[in-house]
Amino acid sequence: MFSGKTEELLRRLRRAKIARQTVEIFKPAIDIRYSLDEVVSHDKNTILSTPVEHSSNILLLSSEVEVVGVDEAQFFDNGLVEVCQQLADQGVRVIVAGLDMDFKRNPFGPIPALCAIADDITKVHAICVKCGNLASYSHRLVKNDKQIMLGETEEYQPLCRRCFLKK
């Protein structure tokens, strides 16, 4: 979290729009932190999106599109892998943003499988709030063992390996 994943997704989608490509962005319907129908970065940059309950809806809603963006992909079902593969095989450029690990450092949702089939991967890191090194982990600050818990700075903080292991 707090690494700029969504900001990078928005940057890439805006560039595709500048290039006059048809773009559609999807987000999981459960992500209502900032907006019901927009993808919003922590810096409050936004782009209109289509919230979907299930990854299969992406295929239904992305015909005639040249670029598909998917935000918060870790919250989607594992069918997202096949959806992305099918779109890419049809010549659609697919850009996915999501966390690869949950707060317990376990693989998160379809992200590991998406990484395995991706043509290109850009891994971005937050800055550890304790020591200033690159942070790879999301430390949960509140007591809740559910894997999926939407949150912000009150619920999570980015930590490097050393600082995470101290917790």
CA distance 159 to 148: 19
Q: What is the DSSP letter of 74?
A: G
Confidence (pLDDT) at 43: 67
The CATH classification of domain 5-125, taken from the options 3.40.50.300, 3.30.365.10, 1.10.3720.10, 3.40.640.10: 3.40.50.300
17 is written with which tokens? 């729009």
Give the model's pLDDT for residue 148: 78
pLDDT band at 154 (very low <50, low <70, confident <90, very high): confident
If you write DSSP's letter for every residue of 101-138 in order, what string do you get?
A: B-TTS-B-TTHHHHHHH-S------EE-TTTSSEE-EE
100-116 confidence digits (pLDDT tens): 999 999 999 999 999 99
77 pLDDT above the threshold of 80: yes
Q: What average pLDDT score do residues 118-146 get?
A: 93
Q: Where are the domains of the chain?
A: 5-125
72 is catalytic: yes
* Residue 149: alpha-carbon gap to chain centroid: 14
pLDDT at 1: 66
Tens of pLDDT, residues 31-61: 866 666 777 666 667 777 899 999 999 999 9
Pick the catalytic residue: 66, 72, 152, 154? 72
